[in-house]
Chain A
């Protein structure tokens, strides 16, 4: 079920917005409109839907309109045209009273520079949204404490924001937003002001929290790595327009146009691509039906030095090497049990490439990719290197 539906949402800054809007509808570009009308197109007819419990990332470079877009969602900026439906209500059209209610109960926002109130303690900051709703002191303190516990700040509640580090301040910002128990969390470059290590910790923590909270999160960032790490889906923005919406894989593997492609060129692919992208269909023998004879045949056919062994339901049992199979055949053994080896490297379907890279270099056999114990594929060294080197290798193998 989609929680937020955005349809043809536009924001034009300037005086002649009507004229600019009609030029925009005729397909003129941002620069042309600026030249003709003096108006700046902030957001150009954006449309998307965000599902319940989804982490939806809006990413783009500075000036791409992403911060404007998120402010159109809770109407900190009034849209020029278009609809924002949240829980059946079109926020672009509602009156002040309803808007206030939605902001108080359904949507909370986390800000890039934290935007904490310096004259309030950490607890009072976290209480802010509840206080605004007129909730009693004891109750709001209780809820705010819970939110602060959640982000790991339970013992700092009496401090003032300026006594905390940047990472901790943003946790307060997050707790303040969570204390309201909103359906939607708007995070505007929430981690961009933090240094890289802290940023990574915060991303992990957000993902951990999300496992239990299942909030709908709209996350704005200019950092593609961050987008790929935390986004279930990503919307890429350029010059106020959404260029592509898709899962991280879709964006990486099939970029919609040159702009997206150039964008994703620099990505550290090892963090994004997973085992499932680069594995091949494996050659196997069935331990219940096949003996050394079949095994040696398949090994020869494919020019391998070893082969994976499974049972009838494709559960991975181990592997046998060509040398062992030859000896077993000479000794006229009937099955493979005696020569079965189990020291193979394994990976999950979702394992990122950089993990596979670490285990593959001194492994005697290709990496086995398993899901619930079933062999799904194998990864050879060449595939990892190809994937790290360029995108084309990936698509071929995937």
Chain B
């Protein structure tokens, strides 16, 4: 009864689309893979070469000031980072941090303008919303496959997959933040004769700042979680340690690397949340 039609070759289509895309856009993908890959790698190497003590102190000072000159977060940062160093995971930490940093920056650079566009155009909102839903509900692992096709294995496909996974919140929150600006303030702005961009930069974005920052925080956290998954396609770092431990079923090293990720997550989360309060 249900077999009135042979199986629709959707998988086939997607395969073809992906490989066609790769062929057509090789001239873009290849330089990204090569040059950007090198850039990321250099950054990670450079960070790993900074003496850990200096990194720990810098993070502690930042934590101290963003949390309103309180010691809690600073002390946690010092102890946490020292623990990671003590466990011999310092280099992995620097790689993971670099991946998170690039993935977040790219997500934000794409996400905020997209959110602004969405807030300004009903049409854009209608189109972008289902795309965001799709991006967020698709199992994160799936993004790894085209990432490998386009960029091979290593850090770049990891960042690519993380960006796809982590961008939606900052888009949504930017859109929400701007739409939530009260009608009266928008009217006031218009009544004084603002141009579109004056209104955006002098009224809407400052008013939406807290909401947008909440979105940024979400995006950074998602990027971090994805970076761990990205170790499956060869992204180095703490996630890689977890994966190796899983494959060899070594619960000790697995948990230790896991702790490292938790510590990094807490520091990034608290620092970015406190930035929002200021």
B-contacting residues of A (Cβ < 8 Å)? 71, 74, 76, 99-105, 107-109, 111-113, 115, 117-119, 128-129, 131-133, 180, 186
Contacts and interface: CB of A to CB of B under 8 A. Distances in A.
Chain A interface mostly:
mixed
A72 to B, nearest CB: 13
Contacts of A118: 207
Contacts of A133: 193
Interface stretch (B20-28, B57-65, B123-131, B183-191): B183-191
B203 A103 contact: no
Given A131-B202, A132-B198, A115 B192 contact: no
Given A113-B184, A115-B184, A119-B207, A103 B202 contact: no
Contact of A74 (B191, B194, B203, B207): B191
B82 to A, nearest CB: 39
A180 B188 contact: no
Contacts of A107: 191
Contacts of A103: 190-193
A121 to B, nearest CB: 13
Given A74-B191, A132-B198, 14 more contacts: A76-B191, A101-B193, A104-B192, A104-B193, A111-B187, A112-B184, A115-B187, A117-B203, A117-B207, A128-B192, A129-B193, A131-B202, A133-B193, A186-B191
B195 interface: yes
Contacts of A115: 182, 184-185, 187-188
B193 A100 contact: yes
Contact of B192 (A71, A108, A112, A119): A108
Contacts of B202: 128, 131-132
Contacts of A71: 187
A128 B192 CA distance: 8
A76 B190 CA distance: 7
A186 B192 CA distance: 12
B31 interface: no
Contacts of B193: 99-105, 129, 132-133
A116 to B, nearest CB: 8
B206 interface: yes
Contacts of A100: 193-195
Nearest to A118: B207
A129 B185 CA distance: 13
A108 B190 CA distance: 10
A288 to B, nearest CB: 63
6 contacts: A104-B193, A119-B206, A119-B207, A129-B192, A131-B202, A132-B194
Contacts of B187: 71, 76, 109, 111, 115
Interface in B179-223: 182, 184-185, 187-188, 190-195, 198, 202-203, 206-207, 209
A128 B190 CA distance: 12
Contacts, number: 57
A144 to B, nearest CB: 13
Contacts of B185: 115, 117
Nearest to A71: B187
Contacts of A131: 202
A100 B195 CA distance: 8
A111 B185 CA distance: 9
A224 to B, nearest CB: 25
A105 B193 CA distance: 9
A3 to B, nearest CB: 17
A84 B101 CA distance: 55
A186 B187 CA distance: 13
Contacts of B203: 117
Contact of A111 (B184, B194, B209): B184
B95 to A, nearest CB: 38
Contacts of B209: 119
Contact of A108 (B184, B191, B207): B191
Contacts of B191: 74, 76, 103, 107-109, 186
Contacts of B190: 76, 103
A89 to B, nearest CB: 14
A107 B185 CA distance: 17
A246 B185 CA distance: 33
B175 to A, nearest CB: 20
A131 B191 CA distance: 14
A132 B192 contact: yes
Given A113-B184, A115-B187, A180 B192 contact: yes
Contacts of B194: 100, 132
Contacts of B207: 117-119
A100 B185 CA distance: 17
B244 to A, nearest CB: 49
A111 B188 contact: yes
Contacts of B198: 132
A105 B191 CA distance: 11
A149 B274 CA distance: 37
B50 to A, nearest CB: 36
A6 to B, nearest CB: 18
Nearest to A128: B192
A117 B184 contact: no
For the complex of A and B, 6 pairs with smallest distance between CB atoms = A104-B193, A103-B193, A115-B188, A115-B184, A109-B191, A100-B193
Contacts of A117: 185, 188, 203, 206-207
**Which of B187, B193, B202 has the most chain A CB within a 10 Å cutoff?**
B193
A75 to B, nearest CB: 9
Nearest to A104: B193
A398 to B, nearest CB: 42
Contacts of A128: 192, 202
Nearest to A105: B193
Interface in B42-88: none
Nearest to B194: A132
A388 B4 CA distance: 91
B44 to A, nearest CB: 37
A177 to B, nearest CB: 9
Interface in B231-274: none
A113 B183 CA distance: 11
Nearest to B203: A117
B177 to A, nearest CB: 13
